[in-house]
């Protein structure tokens, strides 16, 4: 005689018990996130690949999703973590999955790193911390899409009084007037200064206008007893110094 079977046997459990609910597996990426954070805290940033650093950033803006594929897509587009952090928000948001919150977080990281470098410049005389000054200027404007003209005003000990952007221009020009620089130097009681501008196209060679403008500023400052220590051109690829090139004596 055949055994009777329950009507429920073999049917899916439509209403799992609380015990079964508690046994649900967590999404796989949660364990990965924990391991990645632990790796950063215990081994340091040098132990992480660029895509892992991008992942860590994305984790903060995208809490419930596996972000590794998006991290690798970002690196595919920009090439490195540094380039991704330096990218304009509108460029980042062209990538599918990158929303405003993510772009804003990248911008915060970029601004934090620039401010850290600027603080280091202000802590020591510029001439004894030249590499730090160059690193700051490259971070602040080396990847800008338009020309930015910056002046570092210095005191008698070559310490930073004020760091100011005097002009933002087009992709290949920022209009600068020597008398404006001289006037601002007097207002700040500066004894010397360093001019910095970027070449968005990446070519570090000074243009004819760059050389003429530098000489005009030097002459205007000399009449006031203020020294033009250098004029530096920065770009993503590096920098050049007008003094090293022989344009300033």
- φ, ψ of residue 238 to 5 degrees: the values are 155, -145
Give the sheet arrangement for strand 160-168, strand by strand.
160-168, 148-154, 192-198, 227-235, 238-241
- φ, ψ of residue 206 to 5 degrees: the values are -65, 140
Res 63: pLDDT: 83
Strand partners, 231: 195
| pLDDT digit string (tens) for the chain, length 249 residues | 555 544 444 444 544 555 555 555 556 566 788 888 999 999 988 999 999 999 999 999 888 888 999 999 999 999 999 889 988 899 999 999 999 999 999 999 999 999 999 998 988 899 889 999 999 999 999 988 889 999 999 999 999 999 999 988 765 566 688 999 999 999 999 999 999 999 998 899 999 999 999 999 999 999 999 999 999 999 988 999 999 999 998
Res 11: pLDDT: 46
SS3 call for 229: strand
Res 6: pLDDT: 46
**Long-range Cβ pairs for the range 131-136 (8 Å, 24+):** 133/194, 134/232, 134/234, 134/239
**Structure-block tokens of residue 16:** 């799992």
* Length of the chain (residues): 249
**Structure-block tokens of residue 133:** 């000054």
For the stretch 53-75, pLDDT in tens is 999 999 998 888 889 999 999 99
Res 169: pLDDT: 73
Query: Residue 81, Cβ neighbours under 10 Å: how many?
Result: 22
What are the sequence ranges of the domains in the chain? 27-113, 125-245
- pTM to 2 decimal places: 0.76
Distance of CA 204 to the CA centre of its chain: 20
Looking at CATH, the fold of the domain delimited by 125-245 is given as Cytidine Deaminase; domain 2 (3.40.140)
């Amino acid at each position: 005689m055949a055994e009777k079977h329950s009507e429920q046997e073999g049917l899916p459990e439509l209403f799992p018990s609380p015990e079964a609910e508690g046994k649900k597996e967590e999404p796989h990426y949660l364990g990965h996130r924990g391991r990645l954070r632990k790796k950063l805290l215990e081994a340091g940033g040098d132990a992480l690949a660029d895509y892992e650093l991008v992942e860590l950033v994305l984790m903060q803006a995208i809490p419930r999703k596996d972000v590794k594929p998006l991290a690798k897509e970002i690196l595919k587009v920009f090439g490195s973590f540094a380039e991704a952090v330096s990218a304009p928000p509108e460029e980042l948001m062209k990538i599918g999955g990158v929303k405003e919150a993510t772009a804003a977080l990248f911008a915060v990281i970029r601004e934090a790193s620039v401010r850290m470098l600027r603080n280091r410049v202000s802590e020591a005389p510029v001439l004894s911390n030249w590499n730090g000054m160059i690193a700051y200027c490259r971070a602040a404007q080396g990847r800008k899409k338009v020309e930015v003209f910056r002046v570092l005003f210095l005191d008698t000990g070559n310490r930073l009084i004020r760091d100011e952007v005097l002009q933002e221009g087009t992709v290949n020009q920022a209009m600068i007037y020597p008398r404006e620089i001289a006037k601002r130097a007097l207002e700040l009681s500066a004894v010397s200064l360093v001019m910095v501008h970027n070449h968005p196209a990446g070519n570090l060679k000074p243009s004819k206008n760059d050389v003429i403008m530098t000489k005009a500023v030097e002459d205007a400052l000399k009449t006031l007893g203020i020294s033009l220590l250098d004029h530096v051109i920065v770009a993503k690829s590096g920098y050049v110094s007008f003094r090293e090139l022989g344009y300033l004596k």
